[in-house]
């Protein structure tokens, strides 16, 4: 059977067997949490609590007045210990609120409607904002902004992104199997807010149980959603690729999904929306996959935001001594970590502990013009040239070859038999292009 898909892309070995049959476990509440004040793309939040303040679970502890921003909430009931710069998964130190847990959860819930179907759209959107919901797929873009497309761009389709194309990760997969109803509720709410009729659920065909669960519940609940099994191919879950696969629409260069009348949200985001609207719970927890051959008991965990990775790792039985690399997110686009004191953030979909690192073994060869990167790039770029131009600081050439279109999925670097860090050079190139643009603007 042939599944709909986009052109090009790659087939990395997915390693999902570690956790794809393991039910989501509730992680015991951590004794201490570190909440980065900013966990979204947009205007930075400011902490609104002080040292020694008592906070409840779900209480707002950081916010901004700007529209493109998202508040952060305390994930535990306890006392603010410190507001200081701590190590962030991205590698730098950023402002975080350290909270010492003092007891069991004492929820401060958001004011939510009893029946969301009769609630007003503006109220629902406000609720999504107040709940601090951002894109949980990894980009962490504030969801309420996505749910308020400008009027000149009518939206006719909504796609729920259940692809989870990154190897290793199974958090969305398990959520789709175990929390199907919650996800579908969230999807219905989002579609109501957007006012769209056509709902699609895109799932890669390596998760047949998720497809089946979704199909079954969609039929039982009499929903008019179309569950689509898509070819297992990286980066199927990239927004532009997903829209191509599901709707056969091409998001124009430099454009957004709304330019082709589409909004895409991640499964986790839909679940968070459902929790906020039906239970009044802000986004203080998420499903995280702890996996890899470096961890004793790989599992899917429902963990509070701010939980230090060390606690998560301990919960999963600890690391083996040979662990060489730990990264947050998937292996294709995730961040390598050097310290386990960093917290789980809203965008953490998984923690992968690997005993093997290719870094040590990698010896770069010269480009042999094999064209593998050209055959892999889902955006149809000539990656090897872009990397060369970036190395040589040829700004014009980079722009000419469409460096702005690169989605940094890493497919080119994955396939390169010469082990040339192609996507890494392209990232440098993007920086160089922006630098020169800023210079020209100044």
**Chain residues 6-65 in contact with other proteins, contact rule CB under 8 A:** 12-13
Residue 194 phi/psi, 5-degree rounding, is -80, -20
Minimum Å gap between C-beta 253 and other proteins is 5
Q: Is 431 in the site for other proteins (CB under 8 A)?
A: no
Choose between 49 and 290: whose C-beta lies nearer to other proteins: 290
Query: Which is closer to other proteins, CB of 218 or CB of 416?
Result: 416
Q: Which is nearer to other proteins, 189 or 406 (CB)?
A: 406
Residue pair 343/307 in contact (Cβ under 8 Å)? The answer is yes
Residues 255-284: x/- map of binding to other proteins (CB under 8 A)? Answer: x-----------------------------
Q: Which residue in the set 401, 426, 429, 433 belongs to the binding site for other proteins (CB under 8 A)?
A: 401
Which residue from 81, 123, 421, 436 is in contact with other proteins, where contact means CB under 8 A? 421
The stretch near other proteins (CB under 8 A) out of 153-161, 222-230, 295-303, 418-426 is 418-426
Closest to other proteins by CB, 129 vs 234, is: 234
Pick the piece of the chain touching other proteins (CB under 8 A) from 189-197, 218-226, 283-291, 359-367: 359-367
**277-336 residues near other proteins, rule: CB under 8 A:** 319, 321-327, 329, 331-336
The minimum distance between CB 433 and other proteins, in angstroms, equals 15
Binder of other proteins out of 123, 209, 382, 393 (CB under 8 A): 382
Pick from 46, 51, 66, 91: which binds other proteins (CB under 8 A)? 91
What SS3 string covers the chain? CCCCCCCCCECCCCCHHHCCCCCEEECCCCCEEEEECCCCCCCCCEECCCCCCEECECCEEEECCCCCCCCEECCCCEEEEEEEEEECCCCCEEEEEEEEECCCCCECCCCCCCCHHHCCHHHHHHHHHHCCCECCCCCCCEHHHHCCCCCCCCCCEEEEEECCCCCCCCHHHHHHHHCHHHHHHHHHHHHHHHCCCEEEEEEECCCHHHHHHHHHHHHHCCCCEEEEEECCCECCCCHHHHHHHHHCCCCCCCCCHHHHCEEEEEHHHHHHHHHHHHHCCCCCEEEEEEECCCECCCEEEEEECCCEHHHHHHHCCCECCCCCEEEECCCCCCEEECCCCCECCCCCCEEEEECCCHHHHCCCCCCCCCCHHHHHCCCCCCHHHHHHHHHCCCHHHHHHCCHHHCCCCCHHHHHCCCCCCHHHHHHHHHHHHHHHHHHHHC
76: contact with other proteins by CB under 8 A: no
Q: Which among 116-124, 133-141, 157-165, 374-382 is the span making contact with other proteins, rule CB under 8 A? A: 374-382
Structure tokens at 168: 């290793």
> Partners of 300 in the beta sheet?
24, 289
Task: Give me the 110-149 binding string for other proteins, x by CB under 8 A, dash otherwise.
Answer: ----------------------------------------
Among positions 55, 346, 414, 429, the unique one binding other proteins when judged by CB under 8 A: 414
Going edge to edge, which strands form the sheet with 325-328? 24-26, 299-304, 285-291, 350-354, 325-328, 335-337
Of 7 and 102, CB closest to other proteins: 7
Cβ-based neighbour number of residue 408 at 10 Å: 17
Contact residue for other proteins among 84, 100, 357, 434 (CB under 8 A): 357
Q: Which of residues 194-213 bind other proteins (CB under 8 A)?
A: none
Count of Cβ atoms closer than 10 Å to residue 338 Cβ: 9
Shortest distance, position 158 Cβ to other proteins, whole Å: 20
**Which range, of 56-64, 154-162, 210-218, 358-366, touches other proteins by CB under 8 A?**
358-366
Q: How far is the CB of 86 from other proteins (least distance, A)?
A: 12
Task: Pick between residue 92 and residue 440 the one whose CB is nearest to other proteins.
Answer: 92
| Among 115, 92, 136, CA closest to 337 | 92
Minimum CB distance to other proteins, residue 288 (Å): 17
Among positions 419, 431, 435, 437, the unique one binding other proteins when judged by CB under 8 A: 419
Query: Least distance (Å) from other proteins to the CB of residue 309?
Result: 11
Query: Is residue 153 a contact residue for other proteins (CB under 8 A)?
Result: no
Q: Give the footprint of other proteins on this chain (CB under 8 A).
A: 12-13, 91-93, 167, 240, 244, 250-253, 255, 319, 321-327, 329, 331-339, 352, 354, 357-360, 362, 365-372, 374-375, 378-382, 384, 401-402, 405, 410, 413-419, 421, 423-424, 427
């Amino acid at each position: 059977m042939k599944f709909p898909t986009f052109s090009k892309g790659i087939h990395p070995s997915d390693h999902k067997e570690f956790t794809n049959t393991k039910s989501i476990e509730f992680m015991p509440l951590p004794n201490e949490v570190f909440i980065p004040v900013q966990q979204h793309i947009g205007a930075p939040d400011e902490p609104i609590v002080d040292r020694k303040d008592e906070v409840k679970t779900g209480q707002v502890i950081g916010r901004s007045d700007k529209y493109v921003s998202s508040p952060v909430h305390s994930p535990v009931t306890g006392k603010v210990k410190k507001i200081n710069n701590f190590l962030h998964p991205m590698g730098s130190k950023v402002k975080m609120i350290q909270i010492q847990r003092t007891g069991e959860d004492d929820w401060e819930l958001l004011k939510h409607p009893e029946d969301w179907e009769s609630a007003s759209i503006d109220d629902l959107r406000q609720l999504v904002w107040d709940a601090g919901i951002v894109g949980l797929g990894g980009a962490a873009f504030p969801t309420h902004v996505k749910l308020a497309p400008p009027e000149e761009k009518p939206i006719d389709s909504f796609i729920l992104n259940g692809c989870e194309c990154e190897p290793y990760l199974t958090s969305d997969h398990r959520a789709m199997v175990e929390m199907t109803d919650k996800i579908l509720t969230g999807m219905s709410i989002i579609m109501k807010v957007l006012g769209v009729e056509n709902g699609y659920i895109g799932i890669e065909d390596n998760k047949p149980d998720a497809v089946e669960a979704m199909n079954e519940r969609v039929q039982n609940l009499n929903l008019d959603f179309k569950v689509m099994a898509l070819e297992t191919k990286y980066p199927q879950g990239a927004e532009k690729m997903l829209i191509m696969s599901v709707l056969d629409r091409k998001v124009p260069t430099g454009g957004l999904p709304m330019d082709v009348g589409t909004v895409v949200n991640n499964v986790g985001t839909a679940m968070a929306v459902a929790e906020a609207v039906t239970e009044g719970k802000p986004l203080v927890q998420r499903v995280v996959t702890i996996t890899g051959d470096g961890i004793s008991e790989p599992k899917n965990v429902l963990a509070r935001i701010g939980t230090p990775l060390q606690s998560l790792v301990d919960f999963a039985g600890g690391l083996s001594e040979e662990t060489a690399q730990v990264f947050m997110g998937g292996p294709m686009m995730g961040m390598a970590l050097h310290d386990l004191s960093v917290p789980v953030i809203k965008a953490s979909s998984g923690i992968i502990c690997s005993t093997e690192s290719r870094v040590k073994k990698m010896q770069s060869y010269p480009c042999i013009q094999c064209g593998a990167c050209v055959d892999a790039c889902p955006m149809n770029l000539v990656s090897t040239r872009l990397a060369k131009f970036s190395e040589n600081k040829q700004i014009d050439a980079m722009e000419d070859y469409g460096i702005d279109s690169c989605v940094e999925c890493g497919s080119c670097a994955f396939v390169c038999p010469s082990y040339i860090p192609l996507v890494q050079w392209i990232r440098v190139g993007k920086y160089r292009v922006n630098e020169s643009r800023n210079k020209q603007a100044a």
